[in-house]
A and B are shown apart, each in its own frame.
Chain A
């Protein structure tokens, strides 16, 4: 293990999926436009199904905007969706449609997910989603996130393979202890 530690503890403001008292909390710092994160998305879905109630997933933003020009807008839209209690619907939609994250596409996804478009526009203009993404970003850097995706397992940066079998094996090994 690297010794890098999650600098911002998981709290009530986080986007979490799974039981609060799960044995394992998996924090993913991700970028909606990053192809590796797209690959990790389906792997994490499989992990959640395989490990059931033992895992809670938390997603935070780490948009690498120098290489992914749509990453910031996509992240802000997901945060705006969260303000309408639809974070995970948007998160999934963005990863499932990663190939097109243009502004026009993002507006379409907002509609698909069932967001109130006027409210999205207002919330984005307020700057709150942007502030949230920036705070996530700084937390990621302070935690030693070293690329996208970066995973933290119960607070420790996970530097192993996040392909399904090795990642599952690692998480299961924690459950046995």
Chain B
């Protein structure tokens, strides 16, 4: 089951591409969780580039962007650096996809996560979510509207 609007989002600590641990419950501001299938895939790259460029619109509204996929830290490091992405990429790598599973967006059939966006409020409750077809890049409009609705 995909985590529903209103639910308390499961806490997690994951390593970003620089090896820093990021703990969700320690972020006391709205968060946009960007689950994506894999580093380097064309649709993911476009999706993340759009969010990266749009970061200042989210910054202006006090919201943090976090990318998450099952790729490991070194892969994330190369990907973030090559695409010059403006937000961290978290490695849902070991146990593989555990965070995606806890949000109900892990695909057992192919071992990657859905293309899913969750907007969490300051108290870590899901205020909005969107699951897109794997091949479809959702854009950042829905997440931006959801963040604006929080304030």
Which A residues are closer than 8 A to B by beta carbons? 2, 4, 7, 62-67, 137-138, 141-147, 150, 157, 159
A147 touching B137, Cβ below 8 Å: yes
A-side contacts of B53, CB under 8 Å: 62-66, 137, 141
- Residues B139 and A141 in contact, CB atoms below 8 Å apart: yes
B50 near A159: Cβ-Cβ < 8 Å:
no
Inter-subunit contact B83/A159 (CB<8 Å):
no
Smallest Cβ-Cβ distance to A134: which chain B residue: B56
In the complex, the answer to whether A66 meets B86 with C-beta atoms within 8 Å is: yes
The residues of B that contact A137 with a CB separation of less than 8 Å are: 53
Q: A141-B141, A142-B141, A146-B137 are in contact. Are A66 and B83 (CB under 8 A)?
A: yes
Q: Given A66-B83, A66-B85: A147 and B144 within 8 A (CB)?
A: no
In the complex with contacts A4-B141, A141-B140, A64-B57 CB distance below 8 A: no
What residues of B have a CB within 8 angstroms of the CB of A145 in the complex? 50, 139
Residues of chain B within 8 A (CB-CB) of A62 are 53
Q: What distance in Å separates the Cβ of B143 from its nearest Cβ neighbour in chain A?
A: 10
User: Contacting A67 at CB < 8 Å: which of B47, B83, B141?
Assistant: B83
Question: From residue A73, how far is it (CB to closest CB) to chain B in Å?
Answer: 15
Closest beta carbon of chain B to A76's beta carbon, Å:
16
In the bound complex, CA of A99 to CA of B145 (Å): 36
Which A residue's beta carbon lies closest to that of B137? Answer: A146
Can you spell out 11 A-B residue pairs with CB atoms less than 8 angstroms apart? Answer: A7-B141, A64-B49, A64-B50, A66-B52, A67-B84, A141-B141, A143-B139, A143-B141, A146-B50, A147-B49, A150-B139
Least CB distance, B86 to chain A, in whole angstroms: 6
- A65 CB contacts on chain B under 8 angstroms: 53
A146: chain B residues within 8 A (beta carbon) = 46-47, 50, 137-139
Least CB distance, A36 to chain B, in whole angstroms: 9
Q: Which residues of A contact B75 (CB under 8 A)?
A: none
**Residues 58-94 of chain B, each 1 if its beta carbon lies under 8 Å from chain A, else 0:** 0000000000000000000000000111100000000
A residues less than 8 Å from B54 (CB atoms): 141
A4 partner residues in chain B, CB cutoff 8 A = 139, 141
